[in-house]
Structure 1
């Protein structure tokens, strides 16, 4: 992987003489107390300011401070005018704009597009403290506040909108957020390397319009730079431009089959290969000066099949070890994406998380509750990234699939720091985790293979044989964390990748014996092969194996503990029959779910491309590609969600009608083998009074009516 300077090797900016701020300032009065006449960088965020390493604005702010820059925070500013954006004065270098830890649309709306009634990232969970599409709105106001100040956008909202993307909330394909925000630069993914180098180069007087070589950044350009070559992937395989012969090689990956060891075969510069049509391809191009052209914004907006193709090409260029630059035309301009950032080393990762965070919300919030902080204030983030590749998840698009792990010593120091400084700490560490609890220290056995690999998942359809799945170091970390003086208990609250865990029964025993507080959440997501294949999730057999090991370890530990399985409805590839089979599995296994999740198409996710295009970008996309079943109407979305809560009387009328329509009226009745009763309790499901009339299409219902009274919904995921 390309060499990059150490994150902390830069000469500090002159303003380091002001020292470390107790908390980064959010007002001119606080700047005055620090002796500042101006800020070098102002970070605008849609979240309340919490000086904790689980919050993006705190990590970037403290990191830039460690480089000698004066950083101010505008947290949840009033976006109705530019006045609040002038609060800290004109920044010397740039405005850094982020929507916060969550995409603003996901934060503000449910999967059914209903406004949420609260916001966990706002004091006292107050709603409506951020605008829709916050990055765009904040950037526009910053432009108005101080014309000529560079605008740099980042965070998950900008990352997921860096190219043309399907927007679920408007049911349209929108152009890159770079153009809507009129930003000078977009930093995607983990921003530490790019933002530090950018700040130092701007401080040296380099114009931002000339900074075009930072990995992990995107910008608007015109034309191809001198010395660069272009691979045209803007058309489907076998399709040519009108009036021309079919394009011999619109897919730049077809000539890179996987080797038995997982690496791509190497070919010398200038070698030629033959396409599937027998035509010779162009000489192999130098990766560092080659850009792949995606279908244009106008093309993908008009053609869902091309959108799916663009999604496939985009995701095949996400490995920092082999990714090429990407370019996508928007009218007469191009949106240019440099390759993804190089992951942090363990030492760099440690130093980032050991910056002088106060670990608390800003003092100006007083006694206000901040639910997002309360949830994580006694937890430790031990890793970044996820190589699971679940198609509905945005972690890979933002954090990447290469795991970045902190050192054991750094993690234990943070555990001790929480013990000594965290408000309200009573001896329990609430989590040692990250995107996935048990991927710490897991990586490809060979860095050369890792750098050459284009697999979108290291664990699907099977766990790659090159993946190190040794959980031994994680077991030792758990034991050492428990042994820290003053620590009574260490819980694991992050989601567990159970198909990896079954490779280490010793890990499951350690987890179950010491780190489960009665319930452990895992996410099989579904039971049926169709939707699981579109999700890139393991079959339900892996869940069954994990449950057997979990139950056995719980018995050996003398504990009564339960798994909390999470499932998704309305995911692409899911039919009503799939949801019916899942509901029958839930009833057979005694699960009555309180909280369920409906699929929400987030920008750039592979599953969102399936939802929009009804094609599968996990495979080569053509006009004749097999269609993916997609749930669109609200009635069908409600029905699929109702199957997950088959035990709720409010859902019974909808389920009865659906079962009749599906020819499964035999599942309506009052016996154990039935899914829903034939009667309706008073005051539920829109029925005023209870009717004990059996379904006419369920002859056995009357015989089982003595057992027809529905039980109250049980605690989420607990077996009956």
Structure 2
């Protein structure tokens, strides 16, 4: 049974009023891959009456009022993807398609959805119960942030949205604590992972440079971001306080991560793994094709690529589900009539980080002065692919499972660092867990640009390709690698793209067909460099391409067809 999204469904349950109503800019897909659905199921499991409104019409009161007013609070999410990223390309062209909208037409997701939905609630429900922001859009905009689409620094989102609170990061724990406090009539200011506005600063919290300071001094903005970035670990982080005009943003320390047992419990909640009939009648929601029969094995990523926001939102400590929980989920797939024996993905943000972590990090929190993987793998982190190797084999052996793809990204440098199981793991992947192609993300090959991205050197890529080609040949299969490449990253000039093109032709033996122009999304170091024009560590001037046509030219350099290039060069 879905969580109710209509009054009729409330009546079927005998509910006159909901405790909590969740709003999202996606169609309501009841899946463990959809943040709003997870939050809804977790709250339901805790005993609350929860409803979901997906993609409400912002030009009328028809959708926003159809479930009435909640008893405890409204929860507003910008969706699974930041609404501005979802709506616009890296060159600010409007996207006509939307995988999370019925029919695939991008006509139901407003720009800055979190702000629009809170305004919509306030318009039709005067003096209503508290409004809480959540999801990646709000999480990454919770302090002063650079907004690429308006090309300016914006205030923390709570100061622009007419909301009362914000829960950042993975809020599986904090959302229940938040609801419990409101139920008991207690102001929820103690909740970990909570941000709110205060008239007074919090003396025991770290004072960030004020919003006014960051507007006039880019070095202050960099100071602010450094403090923000290094206070995201639940074990070691301190609370933060930032002055905005005559008030203060208060950010409590992060919520504790879920334990393996708690992750297993969330995964076992009764998700329908389908689009709610309310939306399904309007057309196919393409995103369901990818996530319906996929399994998330873990959360977090310690790769810390500078252009990626996973570290700030999910954290850089790996939390893995138990093998038994994952196997049970795979077995459950076989009960669905439309399951054809294919698991679309078995992984996480980075698939081959499943099942191991640094013991020091688990005990004391993430290191502030060094990264787990850059510029070299930390000696304290001892990668082993054994647990994922065992898991893949057991999933594949289950009755009714024909294929389990590993479609999420892998870090190929971790494979080479695992001297015991790395080779065996890749052999297993090549023989059983990809189909035709394997996608990897070197992003670039120039050492200068890779350093700015926080990515490993090209030597690791060459080593991986050599091994992949050999194993593919031995397997007797026709398989190949495809590469995610980025153009116009801060520091990148046309000469760097020419080098990438030459490397792709002579070493990778490919003519790249795709490359993406860098998009400055909130709360990443790459975006920090894009805005300031300064190196994120040395703070020395850095070239940043901001001309749209020249960004596209960088992309075209690497994807341009070469007349001299022919299939005989293929390995």
2:507 is the counterpart of 1:593: no
Deviation for aligned residue 1:313: 1.8
Is 2:51 aligned against 1:51? no
Is residue 44–residue 76 contact of structure 1 (8 Å, CA) maintained in 2?
A: yes
**CA–CA distance in 2 between the matches of 1:427 and 1:182?**
46
Moved more, 38-47 or 446-455: 446-455
Q: Which residue is 2:209 aligned to?
A: 295
Q: Does 1:321 align with 2:235?
A: yes
Residues 28 and 276 in structure 2, CA contact (< 8 A), matched pair in contact too: yes
- Within 1, Cα distance between the matches of 2:114 and 2:384? 41
Corresponding residue for residue 609 of structure 1: 528
Find the aligned partners of 1:569 and 1:341 in 2 and give their Cα distance.
Answer: 36
Q: Distance in 2 between matches of 1:376 and 1:192?
A: 20
Corresponding residue of 2:286: 371
Matching of residues 537-552 of structure 1 within 5 Å:
537-552=455-470
**Structure 2 residue matching 1:438: 3-state secondary structure:** helix
Alpha-carbon separation, structure 1, partners of 2:28 and 2:62: 19
**CA distances 1:262-300 after superposition (whole Å, capped 9, x unpaired):** xxxxxxxxxxxxxxxxxxxxxxxxxxxx31111111111
1:202-232 deviation line (CA, Å, top 9, x unaligned)? 11122xxx3212111111012234xx4xxxx
> How far is the alpha carbon of 1:83 from its aligned partner?
4.3
Give a deviation string over 1:99-142, Cα, whole Å, max 9, x none.
Answer: 11000000000000000011100111121201100001101111
Count of aligned pairs: 563
Deviation at 1:304, TM superposition (A): 2.2
Tell me the distance in 2 between the aligned counterparts of 1:456 and 1:78: 46
For the residues of structure 2 that align with 1:585 and 1:224, how far apart are their CA atoms? Answer: 53
| Cα-to-partner distance string for 1:347-383 (whole Å, 9 max, x where unaligned) | 0001001101111110223452111111121111111
For 1:127-178, what per-residue CA distance to the aligned partner results, in whole angstroms no more than 9, with x for missing partners? 1201100001101111222223100000000001000100000101010110
Q: Does the 8 Å CA contact 1:489/1:515 hold for their aligned counterparts?
A: yes
Instruction: Find the aligned partners of 1:458 and 1:369 in 2 and give their Cα distance.
Output: 41
Contact 1:48 1:121 in 2 (8 A): yes
Is 1:471 aligned to 2:382, yes or no?
A: no
- Corresponding residue of 1:280: none
| 1:231-281 deviation line (CA, Å, top 9, x unaligned) | xxxxxxxxxxxxxxxxxxxxxxxxxxxxxxxxxxxxxxxxxxxxxxxxxxx
Aligned residue for 2:240, secondary structure, equals strand
Shift of the alpha carbon at 1:448? Answer: 5.9
Contact 1:308-1:615 at 8 Å conserved across structures: no
1:584 match:
502
SS in 2 for 1:638: helix
2: distance between equivalents of 1:591 and 1:157?
36
Unmatched tracts of structure 1, length 5 or more = 1-21, 229-289, 649-669, 673-709
| 1:184 Cα offset (Å) | 1.1
Deviation, structure 1 residue 76: 0.2
1:95 aligns with 2:14: no
Partner of 2:425: 507
- Secondary structure of 1:460's match? coil
Post-superposition Cα deviations, 1:414-445, rounded to whole Å, max 9, x if no partner, equal: 10111212x52211111101111111012113
1:396 aligns with 2:311: yes
Q: Is the 8 A contact 2:104 2:285 kept in 1?
A: yes
Cα separation, 1, equivalents of 2:115 and 2:65: 17
1:340-351 alignment runs, 5 A limit: 340-351=254-265
- Alpha-carbon deviations, 1:59-117, whole Å to 9, x = none? 01111000111101111001124443111011000000001100000000000000001
Residue 31 of structure 1 and its aligned partner are, at CA, apart by: 0.7
Question: Structure 2 length as normaliser, TM-score?
Answer: 0.96
User: What TM-score comes out, normalization by structure 1 length?
Assistant: 0.76
What's the counterpart of residue 496 of structure 1? 410
Query: Which of 426, 432, 441 pairs up with 2:355?
Result: 441
Say which of 35, 40, 47 aligns to 1:68. 47
Task: Say if 2:333 is the partner of 1:425.
Answer: no
Q: Report the equivalent of 1:665.
A: none
- 1:308-344 alpha-carbon deviations (Å, 9 max, x no partner): 2221221111222111111111101011111122110
Partner of 1:196: 176
Residue 615 of structure 1: how far off its partner (Å): 1.6
How has the CA–CA distance of structure 1 residues 550 and 633 changed in structure 2, closer, same or farther, with 3 Å as cutoff? same
Q: Which moved more, 1:169-178 or 1:443-452?
A: 443-452
Q: Distance in 2 between matches of 1:109 and 1:350?
A: 36
Check conservation: 1:26, 1:88, Cα contact below 8 A: yes
Deviations 1:440-464 (A, max 9, x none): 0121133566426215631111111
User: Where in structure 2 are the equivalents of 1:113-124 lying within 5 Å?
Assistant: 113-124=92-103
Q: Is the 8 A contact 1:96 1:152 kept in 2?
A: yes
C-alpha distance in structure 2 between counterparts of 1:457 and 1:376, whole Å: 31
What whole-Å deviation, never above 9, does each CA across 1:615-673 have from its counterpart, x for those lacking one? 223x26xxxx311221100121011111121217xxxxxxxxxxxxxxxxxxxxx7x4x
Q: 1:558 aligns with which of 458, 465, 476?
A: 476
Counterparts of 1:369 and 1:448 in 2: how far apart (Å)?
42
**Matches of 2:101 and 2:362 in 1, distance apart?**
44
> 3-state DSSP class of the match of 2:379?
coil
Q: SS state of the match for residue 352, structure 2?
A: coil
Residue of structure 2 equivalent to 1:78: 57
1:104 matched to 2:83? The reply is yes
**Gap runs ≥5 in structure 2:** none
Which residue number in structure 1 is paired with residue 275 of structure 2? 361
Any idea what the Cα deviations from partners look like across 1:665-711, whole Å, max 9, x if unmatched?
A: xxxxx7x4xxxxxxxxxxxxxxxxxxxxxxxxxxxxxxxxxxxxx87
Give, in whole Å, the separation in 2 of the partners of 1:369 and 1:69: 30
- SS of match in other structure, 1:374: helix
Residue 197 of structure 2 is matched in structure 1 by: 220
The answer for the alignment partner of 1:211 in structure 2 is: 188
CA contact (8 A) 1:319 1:454 kept: no
CA distance in 2, matches of 1:547, 1:452: 31
Q: Is the 8 A contact 1:174 1:301 kept in 2?
A: no
Aligned-partner Cα distance in 2 for 1:70–1:647: 57
Contact 2:236 2:364 in 1 (8 A): no
- Give the whole-Å Cα distance in 2 for the aligned partners of 1:442 and 1:644: 36
SS at match of 1:85: coil
Larger radius of gyration: 1
> Which secondary structure state, in structure 1, belongs to the residue aligned with residue 378 of structure 2?
coil
Distance 1:592 1:452, change over 3 A: closer
Task: Classify 1:350/1:111 alpha carbon distance in 2 versus 1 (closer, same or farther; 3 Å).
Answer: same
Distance 1:306 1:636 in 2: 29
